Chain A
Amino acid sequence: MRGAGWRIAFLWGVLLSALSAAAFAAAPEAPAVEIRERVLAVSNLAPVLGRPEVRPHLMTGLTTTFLLEVAAVDGAGHRAKGGGKVDVRYELWDEVFLVSAMGIDGRVRRESLPSFDRLLAWWHGLDLPVVGTAPLAGGGPWNVLVRLSIIPFSQSEQRDTQRWLADSIERPQRGESTAPPRAEPLTGTLDALLATSIKRQRLVSYDWNLVVQPERR
């Protein structure tokens, strides 16, 4: 009886250790956050593009959105929020990655990258201004929460699919998958069902809690 108890405790221990190791291995590397000219910028983004839960989506031809949400709190409890967005779409015909990135400065950075390696390099070198630091006081370290969410398709692709499905169900006799979806707004029960069920959801999210030393003013 006593021997059995030890065995169970040992098995639990092994299981917990394995899970902890897996979690540690799964955690992506944290990005770098620094303050430049009263703006909090994120750079050296974690190499999530090559992760198995992300990479297959990059190759589908759909627009994968990487959404950065950043919240900073200073020592006095003042808060500031912001974010940025990166869209990646693999153009299947030309076999290039079309990317665009936008921070709180509103500037859109567009690139056409011919390979996945180039994409990884571009991602690594990306430097996005994400939070204006004006509301934050200078004293003490700031706690910065960075959340990177991956959304597998864009809003226009979502709308296109909703309309296409509504047309396919309501007017199946048309029978041409190449026919353009209708342009009019979606109405009715079926449309409401489609509109509320086909919607963009986070595929996966990564969170990092970072500490930043503010610049002296």
Chain B
Amino acid sequence: MNLKVTLTTILGLLAAAALVFFTFERELAGAWFTFGVHPEVTGLLERSLDDQKRLARGDPAHAPLYRQRFDATRALLGRLRILELSRGEIVGRYEALLLGLFAGILTLGSTIYAVRARRQEVRLTRLQGALAELAAGGTDVRVGERRRDLIGRIAAMIEETSRVIARDRRRLASLENLSAWQEAARRQAHEMRTPLTAARLELSRLREIAGHAGPAGEAEAETGRLAESALAEIDRLGRLTQAFTAFARLPEPTLNRRDLGPFLAEYVETFAAAWSNLALRLVPPGGACAAAFDPEMVRQVLVNLCDNSALALGERGGTVTFSLATANGWTCLEVADDGPGVAAAIRPRLFEPYATTRRVGEGMGLGLALSRKILLDHGGDLELAASSGEGAVFRLLFPRVFPQVMEGP
């Protein structure tokens, strides 16, 4: 707030208050004083003194009573005369006292007002700085406001906006990254598919020829074995290209708003025996946890996570626990296992394609990348919430407000 405006306001208040005070004091308080020592009152009292004296002379039997009343009236008259003589002093002191009190209150009020205005100015400057930081592309902007008044709420909004922008930027970067990987995978699959198909046809033909070449000899048997082996390798390459294709051609999710609780319960029941070394457990949610999601795609994500847990746990076996919660506009589905956790070295690029610690042939590291892509396409995210020697926790985030959805069953 402008200092000039503040001072003008304070001076205006003081002037208005002084005007009200003088109007009230002069017109009302002064009038009561005049009423108290009005000449008619004193005149009547004077005449009553004469009356008392006359009555005492005319009625000597009651003279002491009249004298008593005379003395009382005289005392009162004397006091009123003293008041009248002191009128200027009394009114002056009264005005000075009230004016001092009034000025004190106004000064205190004005000081508080000015201090508050100054503080608000400082806070607004902080807001301005935060907005400038936000406009310059800053993320995770902190205003440092703790109060919950209007400025505090605006500050909270700026901070929340910066967090949303930061999250969106991360999502966008991930999507761009994944899109690039998808394009690469598509090209690789395309390049590999054609020669693989040709090679497979050729080897099939070789096996046929070897099978019809006459009596079985060692060379022929060896030819057949090699052909089988080559075909197995080519099949593996085929699965590889299928995985690339699945990653590259990931469809858009068909979103339905529905409760995640029953969906999870069904998943746990259906896949209870899918992994021999895993026990699936669902923590019953406290209430409905609605989200807009594509059940098939989310199921695929859960399968990927369970696959990872099963591989990490190995023969030891373990438990995967599913739980639901809602917070800050998100519905969170947490998948926690009690395995060895995610290696620290791989955590920074955990969701990038081909990021894996598995041995060759056990997977290409596309599962988590694909899973995160699915969640990002849902408007949410997939993150590693926690990881330690006692297990890993993955968190699937679904936005609670997602307008472009169909109502689910």
A residues with CB within 8 A of B: 60-62, 92-93, 152-153, 157-158, 160-161, 164-165, 177-178, 189, 193-194, 196-199, 201, 203
Contact = CB atoms under 8 A, between A and B. Distances in A.
B81 A62 contact: yes
Nearest to A160: B79
Contact of A193 (B79, B83, B93): B93
A210 to B, nearest CB: 31
A61 B82 contact: no
Given A193-B97, A196-B93, A197-B94, A61 B83 contact: no
A165 B83 contact: yes
A196 to B, nearest CB: 6
Interface string B77-113: 1110111011001101110010000000000000000
Contacts of B76: 177-178
A197 B89 contact: yes
Contacts of B92: 197
Contact of A197 (B70, B77, B81, B86): B86
Nearest to A153: B82
B67 A93 contact: yes
Contacts of A194: 90
Interface residues of B, number: 24
Given A178-B72, A197-B92, A197-B93, A161 B67 contact: no
A157 B93 contact: no
B81 A193 contact: no
A199 B77 contact: no
16 contacts: A62-B81, A62-B82, A92-B70, A153-B78, A153-B85, A158-B82, A160-B75, A178-B76, A193-B90, A193-B94, A194-B90, A196-B89, A197-B89, A197-B90, A197-B93, A199-B89
B123 interface: no
Contacts of A158: 82
B81 A198 contact: no
Given A93-B67, A177-B72, A197-B86, A60 B78 contact: yes
Counting from the closest, the 9 A-B pairs by CB-CB distance are A178-B72, A197-B93, A197-B89, A197-B90, A161-B82, A161-B79, A198-B86, A177-B76, A62-B78
Given A62-B81, A165-B79, A177-B76, 17 more contacts: A60-B77, A60-B78, A60-B81, A92-B70, A93-B71, A152-B81, A152-B85, A157-B78, A157-B82, A161-B78, A165-B83, A178-B72, A178-B75, A196-B93, A197-B89, A198-B83, A199-B86
B53 interface: yes
A190 to B, nearest CB: 10
